[in-house]
Amino acid sequence: MRKIINYLQGVRLELSKVTWPKKEETVRMTLTVIVFSAIVAGYVGILDFLFTTILTKIFVR
């Protein structure tokens, strides 16, 4: 039981050293990730559509 308490005390100590981001920075970075993910999803969707169309024309006659 003592090991668990020591571990949790260590975790608490380390978490007190963390510099947490401000709300504005968190929102900005979250929006950046969402926009970037949407761009990548669109790119992959377009490639999927193109490859499906091309391969369908080649193999299905």
Mean pLDDT of 54-60: 94
How confident is the model at residue 6, as a pLDDT? 96
Q: For residue 55, what pLDDT band results from cuts at 50, 70 and 90? A: very high
Query: What rounded mean pLDDT belongs to the chain?
Result: 96
Is the pLDDT reported for residue 61 higher than 80?
A: no
* SS3 annotation, the chain: CHHHHHHHHHHHHHHHHCCCCCHHHHHHHHHHHHHHHHHHHHHHHHHHHHHHHHHHHHHCC
Mean pLDDT of 51-61: 93
Mean pLDDT of 40-57: 98
How confident is the model at residue 44, as a pLDDT? 99
